[in-house]
Amino acid sequence: MPKKYHISTKATHLDMEYLFKFRITRGENCINCGKCTKVCIYEAHKREEGDPRKMAAPNTAVCRNCFRCIQECPRGALEKSLNQDFLNNDGSYWKSHMLIALWKQAEDGKVPVSGAGYRGPFTGAGFDGMWTDMSEIVRPTRDGIHGREYISTAVELGRKLNHLSFDDKGRLLSKTFDTVHLPLPLVFDLPADNLKGNVLAALAKAAAEIETFLLLPADGLTPEMEPYAGNIVPLLTHQDIDRYSAFLKKARLAALVYDGELLNNISGIKDKMKGICGASVIVRIQAGNGVEETVSRLAHSGVEIIHIAADYRGMEADGHTTSPPRVLKDIIRSVHQRLVSERIRDEVTLIFSGGIAMAEHVPKAMICGADLAAVDLPLLIAMGVRLYEEPEKFLVFPSGLEEIPVPILARRVINLMGAWHSQLLEVMGAMGIREARRLRGETGRAIFFEEVDEDTFGKLFKNREAVNL
């Protein structure tokens, strides 16, 4: 059995205030009695340091919404509301509570645990419209993170053979391909352009420490990224291969931007890469209208790894003018299904990205048919970046970010990935699945809202009136 893969996490605090949800205000009729300091167990209320006769302004960032100060203030002098910042940050996809959860996981590296049941909507678009299955009694089960069993989250990147062939003496005739081993089904996709040197270095360092990769445009490769060359996937156009040959020599994976010319000359381009380096080649393509067709053609022409990137909200980047854009869940299912029906799915590795915002999206993407996912914006949120969707996508970097040492930023990213890894184990443990590779395309081990709703309520209630007639 391989050594157990584990991401060590360590609480790493950044000295800045991030988003918080509640705001408490103290009215003028406060009589400074101090009742609130006694009832609040989170220490939101304190007396003023300089003048203990008065109450200090409430520290609402620590408020956990227990209502005790509100309900016990003898004068009813305290009021609470949703923090305006929290409301402003809420997007259609990237919700404020998601940003806060990502930030906290980057702080402590722990699986978010809370009391009381789920509080969100019943279902939603994309990944929110599916539940993962679990096992009990009639199926094998696993222990999850608290057990001793080994649950492997490893995946292999590269071309695989559909079958092996042997000669009549039993000798292997097939030529097997090199694959790249990843201990967790995640790579880092560059989350934004024009990142500062320390942020880039932290991403690369974190990728190296947890044994994964960072996709980075080749023109952003600076000498300070040199130490992490083994964990960087340079992203370039096929026309630029010669220009970056020095860096390519050190790379284990390289990514080429898709264009029509690349598809027409794929074997020539692969040969050219082989002449320079031993890296496996990823072709990166935007998820859009007809992406299934392009992926199919790439797969049939021998491309080993295909990275399909949706936009930052996990939607098709272009295409559909008549229908609403598809979401990542449906894109993955459609591409996967296409390759399955063409009997070539097992030969290629599919990476999907765009809108991978929570740990749950990783197993869900895999169940839909991805071999692995690429994560982007959460890596920046771990460093304190805020994301606004309105009026258009906009990132707010915390002031002083460029001063924060690389190891601290890297530690935050590692913490986040550690928490995600543990959550992946929890989901797999509950499903009774011991190898992440077996998640791929296991739609039978998920519950899709449209299907289950149709199967239960649709059957019961649809057209019943018509039948009664």
Partner 1 sequence: MKPSAVTIKETPSRFRHQVPKYKITRSDACINCGTCARTCPYGVHERVEGHNRVNPPIDYKCIGFECLSKEFCCIGKCPRQALSLSLNPMYDTLGDYRWTADIITATWIMAETGYPPTRTDLEYSVGNSGGGFDKLRFKFPANPPHVDTSEISTTIELNRRNDGRGNVVISTPMYGGGMSFGSVSLPTMVSKARNATIWNTFTCTGEGGYPENLIPYDDHVITQVATGLFGVREETIQRVRIVEFKYAQGAKPGLGGHLLGEKNTESVARMREAVKGTSLFSPFPFHSVYSIEDHKKHIDWIKEMNPQALVSVKVSTPNDVDMVAVGSYYAGAHILHIDGGYGGTGAAPDIAKKNIAMPIEYGIVKVHRFLKDEGVRDAITLIASGGIRTAHDLAKAICLGADGVVVGTAELIALECVRCGNCESGRGCARGIASTDSELADLFTEEWATQRLTNFYHAWNVQLVEILQKFGMKSVKELVGRTDLLEHIDYSN
CB of 418 to partner 1, least distance (A): 14
Nearer to partner 1, 108 or 240 (CB): 108
Closest to 396 (Cα-Cα) out of 22, 107, 99 = 99
Of the candidate residues 146, 171, 175, 343, the single one contacting partner 1 (CB under 8 A): 146
| Residue 116 in contact with partner 1, rule: CB under 8 A | yes
Strands 386-388 and 305-309: unpaired
Q: How far is the CB of 433 from partner 1 (least distance, A)?
A: 10
Cis peptide before 234 (omega within 30 of 0): no
How far apart CA 197 and CA 402 sit, in angstroms, is 8
Q: Which is nearer to partner 1, 266 or 433 (CB)?
A: 433
Position among 1, 164, 173, 460 found at the interface with partner 1 (CB under 8 A): 460
Based on the shown chain and the rule CB under 8 A, indicate whether residue 360 belongs to the binding site for partner 1: yes
Yes or no: say if 183 and 421 are a contact pair by the CB < 8 Å rule: no
Residues 6 or more apart from 142 whose CB is under 8 A from it? 149, 151, 428, 429, 430, 431, 432, 433, 434
Q: Note whether 150 binds partner 1 by CB under 8 A.
A: no
The two beta strands, 214-217 and 386-388, are unpaired
Residue number, 349 or 423, with CB nearest to partner 1: 423
- Distance between CA atoms of residues 21 and 62, nearest Å: 9
**418-457 mask for partner 1 (x: CB under 8 A)?**
-----x--xx-xxxx-----------xx-x-x--xx--xx
- Least distance to partner 1 from the beta carbon of 72, Å? 6
251 binding partner 1? (CB under 8 A):
no
Please answer whether residues 335 and 312 qualify as being in contact, where contact means their C-beta atoms are separated by less than 8 angstroms: no
3-state class of 96 per DSSP? helix
- Rule CB under 8 A: say whether 42 interacts with partner 1: yes
Interface with partner 1 includes 95 (CB under 8 A)?
A: no
Decide the pairing of beta strands 372-375 and 349-353. Answer: parallel
Q: Which of residues 9-38 bind partner 1 (CB under 8 A)?
A: 22, 27, 29
Please tell me whether residue 467 binds partner 1 under the rule CB under 8 A. Answer: no
User: Nearest CA to 377 among 216, 232, 112, 189?
Assistant: 189
Q: Give the DSSP H or E segment for 253.
A: strand 253-257
Q: Which is nearer to partner 1, 99 or 101 (CB)?
A: 101
Judged by CB under 8 A, the residue of 70, 257, 344, 395 near partner 1 is 70
* Residue 175 CA from chain centroid, whole number: 34
Interaction of residue 140 with partner 1, rule CB under 8 A: yes
359 contributes a contact to partner 1 by CB under 8 A = yes
Which region among 133-141, 200-208, 273-281, 399-407 touches partner 1 (by CB under 8 A)? Answer: 133-141
Q: Taking CB under 8 A as the rule, does residue 111 contact partner 1?
A: yes
Q: Which two tokens stand for residue 414?
A: 């590692």
Taking residue 137's Cβ as centre, other Cβ atoms within 10 Å add up to 5
Q: Quick one: which of 54, 243, 297, 462 contacts partner 1 (CB under 8 A)?
A: 462
Q: How many CB atoms lie within 10 A of CB 236?
A: 21
- Cβ atoms within 10 Å of 303's Cβ, excluding its own: 25
283: nearest Cα among 183, 301, 275: 301
Q: Report the residue from 81, 88, 239, 341 that binds partner 1 according to the rule CB under 8 A.
A: 81
Q: Which stretch binds partner 1 (CB under 8 A): 52-60, 77-85, 165-173, 236-244?
A: 77-85
43 near partner 1, rule: CB under 8 A: no
Q: How far is the CB of 359 from partner 1 (least distance, A)?
A: 6
Could you tell me which of 419, 341, 334, 343 has the C-alpha nearest to residue 370?
334
Interface of this chain with partner 1, residues 366 to 405, rule: CB under 8 A: none
Q: Which of 136, 167, 193, 392 binds partner 1 (CB under 8 A)?
A: 136
Are 35 and 74 within 8 A, CB to CB?
yes
Q: Which is closer to partner 1, CB of 288 or CB of 363?
A: 363
Q: CA-based diameter of the chain, in Å?
A: 95
Stretch that binds partner 1, among 132-140, 220-228, 391-399, 409-417 (CB under 8 A): 132-140
In the complex, the smallest distance separating the C-beta of residue 106 from partner 1, rounded to whole angstroms, is 15
Number of residues this chain uses to bind partner 1 (CB under 8 A):
78
